[in-house]
Amino acid sequence: MGEAVRLLRAGGVVAVPTETVYGLGADASNPAAVARVFELKGRPADHPLIVHIGEADVISEWARDIPEEAWALARAFWPGPLTIILKRGTAALDVVTGGQDTVGLRVPDHPLTLRLLAELGGGVAAPSANRFGRVSPTRVGHVEAEFGDQLDYILDGGPCSVGLESTIVDLSGFDPRILRPGAVTASDIASVLGTIGSRETSAGETPSPRAPGTLASHYSPETAVRLMVPELIADAVVSAVCEGHTVAVMARRPTAIGECRESCRWVRMPQEPDEYGRALYATLRELDVSECDVILVETVPIDPRWDAARDRITRATAGDLLDDDELGT
């Protein structure tokens, strides 16, 4: 712990555990260190970073014009997987906010990182510890596979307990709005605030600020991925195998591939949304190095409890859809 704090103070980049995913952390007050995070990730400079803080009491050091709703959400869900976007204060650097007039803040729910933040006495700007657009890491081994020895330190906090990035709620405008779904659901937030909107804006309304993880294509493995309804998976596997492809399937039901078993790896995913979210990225990463030609991901239920997982698998497949002819369907 002491070495991680020392390196952060010296301008280093340290991988830190949170309950959501591992973060690529730098002292949020050091512009050169934050710039190195962008360089390591290959992240566009106008994509803001979330500042991780040790307690809600320091919100006013990073933000201004703080509405009562922010304090209410902090009391209800911090430490926890919720990021609040507010008007930026003087401590929030341009390099952190992507040049915007807003800053994203959260208190992570991980004992090691909370200790690190307490000892550091400041904020840590930390996107997920992976190359830009790729699958987020939920274990130390994922971070090591992504960056090798390029990082100054990796703080090992074990597997992430949530496994999907934090919910992002925008409180910088007139009405609260969810920009990215996560483990803290819309109904959870509405139970505190009474109302909550989605990322869409109405005519004449100021657009929401840019937020991490909201590109159409994101969280993607290098292997081609396709999202499929359950009824089509078995036929798609047969057609792909007949064309000489090897296939991996992520589905919440038992295998349905029969004689194609040798050319298809079928992974039974959890039935419950929390467990599914915890397993999603680790499974995608495992299949990505399995030398299969395509990963078929079964759609998940249309249910608010599944919003976060559905958001991630939709974005993971959006940039690498295969034509029906390529799969032989």
Residues 19-66: pLDDT tens digits? 999 999 999 999 999 999 999 999 999 999 999 999 999 999 999 999
Position 291 pLDDT exceeds 90? no
Measure Cα distances from 149 to 68, 153, 329 in Å.
Answer: 44, 9, 43
Measure Cα distances from 41 to 7, 126, 130, 151 in Å.
Answer: 19, 11, 6, 11
Mean pLDDT (whole number) for 163-177: 94
Per-residue pLDDT, 206? 46
Going by the DSSP 8-state scheme, the letter that residue 109 receives in this structure is -
Of the candidates 9, 102, 109, 125, which has an alpha carbon nearest to the alpha carbon of residue 56?
109
Of 131 and 259, the structure prediction assigns the larger pLDDT to: 131
Of the candidates 87, 94, 83, which has an alpha carbon nearest to the alpha carbon of residue 65?
87
The answer to whether residues 65 and 93 touch, using CB atoms and an 8 Å cutoff, is: no
Kindly report the average pLDDT of the chain as a whole number: 90
Least confident of 12-26, 245-259, 280-294: 245-259
Confidence of residue 324 (pLDDT cuts 50, 70, 90): very low
Confidence of residue 146 (pLDDT cuts 50, 70, 90): very high
Per-residue pLDDT, 30? 98
Distance CA(118)–CA(177), nearest Å, equals 30
Of the candidates 228, 219, 182, 240, which has an alpha carbon nearest to the alpha carbon of residue 319?
219
Position 326 pLDDT exceeds 70? no
Position 9 pLDDT exceeds 50? yes
pTM (2 d.p.):
0.91
